[in-house]
Amino acid sequence: MRSLLMVERGTIVHYAKWLVALLALVAVIMLARATLSGPDIVLSTGGPIADWPAYGGDPYGTRYSPLTQITPENVEHLEVAWVHRTGDVSDGSKYPRKTSFEATPILFEGTLYFSTPFSRVVALDPETGAERWSYDPQIDLNEGYSESLVSRGVEAWVDPEGREGEACQKRIFFATLDARLLALDALTGRPCQGFGDSGEVDLKVGVGEVEIGEYEVTSPPVALGDVVIVGSAQGDNRRVDVESGDVRGFDARTGELRWSFQPVPRAPDRPGWDAWQPEQARRVGAGNAWAPLSSDPERDLVFLPTGSAAPDFYGGERLGNNAFANSVVALRASSGELLWHYQVVHHDLWDYDIASQPTATTIRRDGREIPAVVQATKMGHIFILHRETGEPLFPVEERPVPASTVEGEAVWPTQPFPVLPPPLLPERMTPDSAWGLTPWDKGKCRQKMESLSYEGIFTPPSLEGTLEYPSMIGGANWGGVAVDPERRLLVVNLNRFASWVRLIPRDEFDDARRAPDAEGQFTAQRGTPYGMNRDAGLVSPWDVPCTPPPWGKLVAIDIDEGSVRWDVPLGTIRDIAPVPMPIQWGTPNLGGPIVTAGGLVFVGAAMDDYLRAFDSETGEEVWKGRLPAGGQATPMTYRIRPDGKQFVVIAAGGHGGLDTTLGDYLVAFALPD
């Protein structure tokens, strides 16, 4: 036995020596390859430099970067370059609301600027993440704000009449969650004393009776010429006479009000008054632009994405098509003059606000370049309009939609349906479409769907309950679209699940919301005969969507032809399943994509904690980087020196409404040295 063991040991030692020699040879070959080709594969020091001076990458909201250092061939080598932690996070235990870190930083004059969910503004070194300054307007975090603690970003402005280096010649404009417009010196973060009252303007003045915590600003202003323009976010299901949804232009130097535009006209001298019943127009509020605005500096245009008039789900107190609500509105930025509007939903009863930033770009047709505005919607419809007139550049059809069974309601009989690009989501969902992990939960979903009224998209709310597909979350939400002008691509991420809503007669409302089996959100809709009960997701008893996957997807469209180039799932259920399973069913998502000249689409948004890169040509996922918290934000990218790195930066702080991992991280990725 001993001799046999010695033979075996000798054989093992022999083969072990052979294996070591082989591994050494492989190592030498790999090192040689890395030495010969490593710099070309991993990091190219050539290519352009570029900043990211506005929330959408540029004033037009294209979310496009000309940077080429990171490509489909080397993106797999991306690694974390630096991490900055803000400290601004709430899980709802200390403060009434959870945080949603939705900000996209801007890179302006060599500094990275962003806002936190606590409405602080922070300036960082863009290559190290080290803090240069921060400013805290000290909002009341104990206030019960209408949704979550959230802010999407800031705006930069240079005063052409100021002297280089003087205080506030370069400014950061920001609007707080408690509705104050701030002007800060870009170099120091100190308030600009000549702007408003010691650096701030109270936006709650002049919009009617304000309920604290219900009138907010969550998206960045737009500065154009010498005017800074800002919208508002509102809890618009509280009552009919909520705050007016005014979009206002203020003098960028002094903070003086220059003009205001009311999406719901409240006086005869306001545009659109003739489209409303006078007694209703005088009291109805909202129609506000809560999503990011965009602009066309050369044409002195600002583009507004407006939401529903109040309240969302009953329109008997706002009869008619409700112009200029649910519209893309083009104003003269210097004066507030209305130039055109295009309504994407008539008489909205589904909370189908325009939630995405309009994107100004061009389409090519018959050898000509035509100025255009692209508007993504919650319905999965993409409208492409002429930038100067608002006329559709692809066919749009007005089609009949279901009527209402609710007393007092008057549904607008048709809705606009783009023919091209084609609808990006199915427009009909039936009980036969019910989905589940098992026959049991699939059956429960089918029962839920059968109990709800449904005749296809735009089925109005009912007393028995109505299935809403696409969901009131979308389709597209505030992430918007990205446009690659070289590859002629429009890229958008979408949700693909259903929700439900029901109206409750006023005398039954209190009992309904106190019932032991009550579920979803209840809102009073004061001033109407009905309260409202809704849930943004139609799910099984296991909290799994009742609609078939993918529940989130990323789509690329040929912007000149209106055809779909590719369509892929976005996200896995790894971080939302009871056990981590990287199944590519897509997930609900909030945040948007960016595109680069290097041939990549970067997007977070999904409910697993990753930033992803997709090949622009094929839609193939070519990289994903793990985040320390949910990436429900739009990334950005920049390169500030000819010998420097291209950074890709995303806010990783999660979303209180989606229940993704909460945090306070700003994470930068780059190729290694």
Which tens digits make up the pLDDT trace of 304-316?
999 999 999 999 9
Give the separation between CA 290 and CA 287, rounded to whole angstroms: 9
Would you state the pLDDT for residue 77? 98
Q: What is the pTM of this model?
A: 0.92
Residue 305 contacts residue 328 (beta carbons within 8 Å): yes
Which residues, at least 6 apart from 659, have a Cβ–Cβ distance to it below 8 Å?
A: none
What parts of the chain have a pLDDT lower than 70?
1-46, 578-579
Would you state the pLDDT for residue 212? 85
Structure confidence by residue, pLDDT tens digits, 143-169: 989 879 999 999 999 999 999 989 999
- Strands of 485-524 (E only): list them: 489-495, 499-505, 521-523
Which listed residue (351, 353, 608, 609) is catalytic?
A: 351
Would you state the pLDDT for residue 44? 55
Give the separation between CA 192 and CA 211, rounded to whole angstroms: 28
Give me the residue spans of the domains in the chain: 1-42
Task: Classify 439 as helix, strand or coil.
Answer: helix
Helix segments in 272-350, DSSP class H: 278-281
Give the separation between CA 387 and CA 362, rounded to whole angstroms: 9
Give the separation between CA 510 and CA 504, rounded to whole angstroms: 9
Per residue, what are the HEC states of 206-258? CCCCCCCCCEECCCCCEEECCEEEECCEECCCCECCCCECCEEEEECCCCCEE
Would you state the pLDDT for residue 43? 53
CA separation (Å) from 116 to 16, 87, 212, 480? 57, 9, 20, 20
Answer yes or no: 351 catalytic. yes
Q: Name which of 425, 565, 427 is nearest 491 in CA terms.
A: 565
Give the separation between CA 631 and CA 119, rounded to whole angstroms: 19
Would you state the pLDDT for residue 427? 82
Give the separation between CA 477 and CA 113, rounded to whole angstroms: 23
Would you state the pLDDT for residue 32? 39
- The dihedral built from the CA positions of residue 276, 280, 281 and 285, taken in this order, carries a sign that is negative
